[in-house]
A and B are shown apart, each in its own frame.
Chain A
Amino acid sequence: MKKTLWTSVTLLSVGALVLTGCSQGASTEPIPPVTNPVAGQVADGILKGQTVTYAADGGTTQDAQMKAFFTPFAEASGVTINQDSPQTLAKITAQVQSKNYQWDFVSAVADTVARNCGVLFEKLDMAKIDTSQVPDGLLGGTECGVPSIPYAIVQVYDTGEFGANGPVTWADFFDVAKFPGTRAIYSGDGVIDSATVQAGSIAAGWDPKTPYTADWANKGIDQIEKIKNNIAFYTTGAQAQQMLESGEAKLGAVWNGRALAAEKNGTKLTPTWDNWISIVDQFAIIKGTPKSEIAYYAINYAMGAEQQAKWTELSGYSPVNKNAKPNIDDLTKKYITTTPERAATAVPVQLDFWKDEAAVSALQDRWSSVVAGG
């Protein structure tokens, strides 16, 4: 019995190693360095035989990114591109610490990138990415990322519920007496959500033209805590969409792409763009990955006008290339955030404040207790 056991265990181990061995073959071909990058272009077959892995949030946005950016990139450059999700901080930390890389580059929210810049993410060599066509206001904030998704936390409400007399300002959003109903608010999946807190701060009286402080952040959380019995926290975009579609939430501070998706499924929503919070997700390269050069190629390719147009058509989120001419319907246009009209009322996430690890960790525990507390 024991002998057969050992035989089978040995056989299985050998089999398993054979099975997995092929996927781990590292290429020995040297990677030609990026020179004179032009957004959206890559030399044919230049990365033949190479592999690279991209990780992001998953779901419909990552599907769109793959279709618009990375699948065509793989076809053009000859690289094999793997994708994974979700790109959790735990896994990035473990990879950087063990120097064993499953992922090479990611798309993550800018404050996370900024907070871990130089530790978990590479400081980018901006000469390797053509960012000349990126709309104003989207670049900067951190040396470790370039914009991948510009989007919004925007207030929307059920048109059928409030009609033309719906809430307008963030103060209205947090006023449950004036506008009763359940609010869909992002839980951050356990992580403090800078944009949502800022929305609360505006309701509490913060003037976006003045510097953002921990004091204002706390006042923002106060606003959320105050109405917590009227909040349904969502953890993923899909949930936010379901809450709006099913009528579970009458108001929401949601991502523009999800409000759009809910409208496409027949839900009538009204967005109010007063002081909407402008968020940027960024492409970032994992600190120390031996494949950073390939990641530069991939990111540079994603910035092209054509790729960005396709991205917008697929996802409903805005392009990060001024010359992108997406072919989209009026409904999608309604939720595009990179227009001068929208820029006029936008409040960006205050990265200077949110990248400060110490300031944020003090707020984090408060956030957890509002989201998961009794």
Chain B
Amino acid sequence: MNSEVRPGTKVVLGIITAFIAVWLIAPMFIVFPLSFTDDASFQFPPRAWSTRWYESFFTNPQWTDALRNSAIIGTLVAIIAATLGTITALAINRSKSRLSGTVQAIMLTPLIIPPIIAGAGIYTFFLKTDLVGTIFGFVLVHVTLALPLVVIAVNASLSGYDRSLELAAASLGAGRLTTFVTVTVPLILPGILAGVVFAFVTSFDEVIVAQFMVSPALQTLPMMMYTSVTRTTDPTIAAAAALVLGAVLLAFGLYQFVVVPLTRRSRGRTSV
């Protein structure tokens, strides 16, 4: 649409953008080669190669239990937070109450206030209520941290009911009917799905509050990774990181290239 941008400017912008894009994503790929090092250190490039750190990951119950715990907690958090968050966003959006602005501000608090403040209180609270090291406590605390992101995502899709989306679709070459079917109808579904993903990632990545909630019987993957980086020089963390990253890329690919096209097609059918 900005046809008046001069080609020279566009090239310069392209170079800057490419640089930023590389800076954004390239660094994390270093965990893949590092995870195949043969050394017991983070030396890079590795002097020799092996799969011993993957072996170490999968044969050490501490790591595999942590992975399992994080997966369970993340999934439960995603389900509960998405449900509560969607209800919240819908209610706020549809309500004409004067309080709804305040309500929304309250809902977003956990995103803005540094989590360490609540974290320190949670330990004492959990000790009193016998919740330390329980999945139940872990999940509900993570739900509070994930709620704001779900609310934002769903809210975005609700109030995103505007020209910009339709324009965007139109810029893809969609006609009016297609625009309606592919943009307006599934409008809220992507919001919820995004909320699900954000909630899962929030939980799956959380260290600051988690350090007050873990117990010998309940460790999580990010906690294991964080203590591993700060307390040892054990490259098992690189294997763990590579696995997490691989899974994310896989999930992202699946979502982008399988789920989205499928949802579109099935939506298209039902409404026709």
Residues on A facing B (Cβ under 8 Å): 1-2, 5, 8-9, 12-13, 16-17, 19-20, 23-24, 53, 57-60, 82-86, 90-91, 94-95, 97-98, 100, 102, 235-239, 241-242, 245, 265
Give CA–CA (A20, B69) in the complex, Å: 12
Given A60-B232, A238-B233, A102 and B215 touching (CB < 8 A)?
A: yes
Given A20-B133, A90-B120, A241-B233, A82 and B217 touching (CB < 8 A)?
A: yes
Residue interface bits B70-86, CB-to-A below 8 A is 1, else 0:
00000010011001100
Given A16-B135, A94-B127, A238-B232, A2 and B227 touching (CB < 8 A)?
A: no
Total number of B residues with any Cβ neighbor in A under 8 Å:
30
Question: In the assembled complex, which residues on chain A have CB atoms less than 8 Å from the CB atom of B233?
Answer: 238, 241-242
Question: In the assembled complex, which residues on chain B have CB atoms less than 8 Å from the CB atom of A98?
Answer: 124, 127-128
Question: In the assembled complex, which residues on chain B have CB atoms less than 8 Å from the CB atom of A91?
Answer: 123
Is the pair A265, B41 in contact by a Cβ cutoff of 8 Å? yes
Is the pair A238, B231 in contact by a Cβ cutoff of 8 Å? yes
Question: In the assembled complex, which residues on chain A have CB atoms less than 8 Å from the CB atom of B135?
Answer: 16, 19-20
* Contact residue among B130, B136, B217, B230 (Cβ-Cβ distance under 8 Å from A16): B136
A162 to chain B, nearest CB (A): 24
Is the pair B232, A23 in contact by a Cβ cutoff of 8 Å? no
Is the pair A53, B87 in contact by a Cβ cutoff of 8 Å? no
Give CA–CA (A20, B230) in the complex, Å: 29
B178 within 8 A of A: no
Question: In the assembled complex, which residues on chain A have CB atoms less than 8 Å from the CB atom of B139?
Answer: 12, 16
Give CA–CA (A82, B132) in the complex, Å: 15
Q: Determine chain B's interface SS by DSSP, over half rule.
A: helix
Is the pair A95, B127 in contact by a Cβ cutoff of 8 Å? yes
Closest to A99 in B: B127
Is the pair A2, B87 in contact by a Cβ cutoff of 8 Å? yes
7 further A-B pairs in the complex, CB-CB below 8 A; given A86-B231, A238-B233:
A5-B83, A13-B136, A20-B133, A59-B231, A94-B127, A98-B128, A237-B231
Is the pair B123, A238 in contact by a Cβ cutoff of 8 Å? no
B7 within 8 A of A: no
Question: In the assembled complex, which residues on chain B have CB atoms less than 8 Å from the CB atom of A90?
Answer: 120, 123
Is the pair A9, B80 in contact by a Cβ cutoff of 8 Å? yes
Give CA–CA (A86, B227) in the complex, Å: 9
Closest to B136 in A: A16
A290 to chain B, nearest CB (A): 15
Is the pair A12, B76 in contact by a Cβ cutoff of 8 Å? yes
* Contact residue among B132, B133, B217, B230 (Cβ-Cβ distance under 8 Å from A235): B230
Question: In the assembled complex, which residues on chain B have CB atoms less than 8 Å from the CB atom of A94?
Answer: 123-124, 127
Give CA–CA (A86, B76) in the complex, Å: 27
